[in-house]
Structure 1
Amino acid sequence: MNEMVKLIEQFELKELFNKSRLKGVRFFKSSSHIPRSPLLYDPGIFIVAQGRKIGHLGERSFQYDPNNYLVTSVPIPFECETFADADAPFLGLYVDIDMPVLHELMGLLGQSRVAASVRIRDIPKGVAPAEMDAAMHDAVIRLLKCLHSEADALVLGPGLIREIIYRALCGTQASSLYALAAQDGSFARVSKTLHLIHRECSRKLDVDQLASVAGMSASTFHRAFKEITSESPIQYLKKVRLNKARDLIEREHMKVYIAADKVGYESSSQFSRDFKRFFGVSPAEMMRGAR
């Protein structure tokens, strides 16, 4: 058993997501296989100690496992399958990307490093795995050790999160983080619209409005948006709405028609059709399961 697994198992985690002593760091555990299903990740770094996940985004598939951590540089919905069993549960931790820290590190590294990592003509993917090198592994081990102590987490934790973000900036998926932190460029402009969609998904939003927010023509925006997210803006908006509605139904036990209205659906019947097509069960069935 590797050291990372031993350190995580000492937390006695419940199934799925668990909070840690440190804001911005969460643990994940699954004792059984989770079939391919939709999920929504915020910008962050997902580090796997044991087991593996396979993500599906558009026509792309990618694996993250103990040898490859996942970098999500924009909030993005995709489908994921988790491989685990009771004897060897899936174990991992998720570190949120702190934008002020990212900007600070980018400033310290200098514009020449940024230019070398992100060429103007390139648009990085919004989610992709990066190789787990020795430096990143060592930083994660030290973070896990400090999380066992309230005082260590308070004093050392923020610095270790900063180091992990720095290690990601030195890794094989660095270009997406540099592009995210850049003040201009297609990636940063599209990222601005993604955050708008997540904040205000109940609003009536169309491609022209979003392109205007990004400061791009509708055709250029549509092309850049799909390059980053593998989805059209309207399909992305629909998936965000459905994921948020699922959370309202499952976690807050909200009635279906109220959840539909909360995420911007004008028709409950259309919401139910889209929901079942996306999740494989109707919202009413999901509500009964949650209860």
Structure 2
Amino acid sequence: MQMPKIVELLGKFQITDGGATESRLTGVRFFKDTQPVPRRPMLYNPGICIVAQGHKIGYLGGHTFRYDADNYLVTSVAMPFECETFASQDDPLLGLYIDIDMAQLHDLIGQMALQEEVGKLGENDFPLGIGPSTMDEDMRDAVIKLLKALWTETEAKILAPGLVREIYYRALRGTQAPVLYSLARGNGSFAQVGRTIKMMQSNYSKKLEIEDLATTANMSVSAFHKAFKEITCDSPLQYLKKIRLSRARDLIVQQKAKAYMAASEVGYESPSQFSREFKRYFGHSPADLMREVR
């Protein structure tokens, strides 16, 4: 399946094959793959992933989810998971990723009078922090308008921010809306864990103790551990390890960092432990990756 109009509009942009390309608006990126990519670990920041052509399958714990022309993906918290890409030269994967601005989300929930919906969510309801939502006609139209606006500098500056806001609005009407309500609620347990995850994202290179993380979330250690695992399918320490390894991989690929430098930068004291855990997670060693990058 594909969305012909969106595919046509994306075809007008110069998009790097096998990577992400920044658009004229900060927080909106295009992606393209002309080759299939086998199942491998990925890290998505909070955002909305819209696939116009080709498809991806995500794997997280015991959950499997497909995102394609009929289903966009909503990620409410930074989420390490495994992903497989289905694409070819004749049918490349094409799409865009839109970062979620929490301040805008709060504002929209207030204006849409969704506080009542937020209030219906139980204090101990912990939806999975990532999942697909049906691509309906309204969301499709909003994406088309955004892509048209991003084609010129003036429209990207004047019209595109409002169109991104419309896409947030459409997502708040979609099937993943409860996750976004929970995150935006602010004082609920889901939001408290979400804030702790955000803090972990900013401080992953530091020594973080589970007791301190639970205190940050204003929860007992056992309640925090349980809530964290329901949202991310990982324990806090497993999650932190995946974040560190993903950030280290980015340093090696994007900044050509040597393995021992990347290890130190993300908080590993032992380069040999870093190499072992990196190979276990990604299926190849940091040295293999450095050779590939060169």
Give the TM-score of the pair, scaled to structure 2: 0.97
Q: Identify the match of residue 184 of structure 1 among 182, 187, 197.
A: 187
Q: Distance in 1 between matches of 2:58 and 2:259?
A: 28
Quote the residue 2:172 is aligned against: 169
**Are 2:263 and 2:271, in contact at CA under 8 Å, matched by a contact in 1?**
yes
Quote the residue 1:193 is aligned against: 196
Q: Identify the match of residue 10 of structure 1 among 9, 12, 16.
A: 12
Q: Distance in 1 between matches of 2:237 and 2:122?
A: 28
Q: Is 1:104 matched with 2:107?
A: yes
The offset of 1:73, in angstroms, is: 0.3
Q: Distance in 1 between matches of 2:167 and 2:248?
A: 32
Which letter does structure 1 place at the counterpart of 2:46? P
Q: Which stretch of the first structure deviates more once superposed, 106-115 or 262-271?
A: 106-115
The offset of 1:192, in angstroms, is: 1.1
Q: Distance in 2 between matches of 1:179 and 1:266?
A: 36
Structure 1 residues 5-84: aligned runs within 5 Å: 5-15=7-17, 16-84=19-87
Q: Distance in 2 between matches of 1:152 and 1:189?
A: 37
Which letter does structure 1 place at the counterpart of 2:108? L
Q: Distance in 2 between matches of 1:183 and 1:152?
A: 33
Q: Distance in 1 between matches of 2:34 and 2:263?
A: 32
Between the aligned residues of both structures, percent identity stands at 56
* RMSD between aligned residues: 1.0
Q: Distance in 2 between matches of 1:257 and 1:286?
A: 13
Quote the residue 1:113 is aligned against: 117
Q: Distance in 2 between matches of 1:113 and 1:233?
A: 29
Q: Secondary structure at the match of 1:79?
A: strand
Q: Is 1:282 matched with 2:280?
A: no
Q: Identify the match of residue 273 of structure 1 among 252, 276, 286.
A: 276
Q: Distance in 1 between matches of 2:69 and 2:293?
A: 32
**Are 2:125 and 2:190, in contact at CA under 8 Å, matched by a contact in 1?**
no
* Deviation readout 1:59-79 (Å, 9 max, x if unpaired): 111100000000000001011
Q: Distance in 1 between matches of 2:96 and 2:130?
A: 16
Q: Secondary structure at the match of 2:178?
A: helix
Quote the residue 2:148 is aligned against: 145
Quote the residue 2:163 is aligned against: 160
Q: Distance in 1 between matches of 2:191 and 2:117?
A: 17
Give the TM-score of the pair, scaled to structure 1: 0.98
Q: Distance in 1 between matches of 2:148 and 2:210?
A: 47
Quote the residue 2:226 is aligned against: 223
Q: Is 1:256 matched with 2:270?
A: no
Q: Secondary structure at the match of 1:177?
A: helix
**Are 2:124 and 2:189, in contact at CA under 8 Å, matched by a contact in 1?**
no
Which letter does structure 2 place at the counterpart of 1:288? R
Q: Distance in 1 between matches of 2:218 and 2:125?
A: 18
The offset of 1:253, in angstroms, is: 1.0
**Are 2:149 and 2:160, in contact at CA under 8 Å, matched by a contact in 1?**
yes
How many residue pairs get matched?
A: 290
The offset of 1:142, in angstroms, is: 0.6
Unaligned runs of 5+ in 1: none
Q: Distance in 1 between matches of 2:233 and 2:33?
A: 27
Q: Distance in 2 between matches of 1:152 and 1:204?
A: 45
Q: Distance in 1 between matches of 2:250 and 2:15?
A: 21
Unaligned runs of 5+ in 2: none
**Are 2:24 and 2:153, in contact at CA under 8 Å, matched by a contact in 1?**
yes
**Are 2:57 and 2:64, in contact at CA under 8 Å, matched by a contact in 1?**
yes
Q: Distance in 1 between matches of 2:173 and 2:179?
A: 11
The offset of 1:12, in angstroms, is: 2.8
Which letter does structure 2 place at the counterpart of 1:223? K
Q: Distance in 2 between matches of 1:252 and 1:190?
A: 31
Q: Distance in 1 between matches of 2:146 and 2:156?
A: 8
Quote the residue 2:137 is aligned against: 134
Q: Distance in 1 between matches of 2:122 and 2:72?
A: 23
The offset of 1:14, in angstroms, is: 1.4
Q: Secondary structure at the match of 1:227?
A: helix
The offset of 1:186, in angstroms, is: 1.3
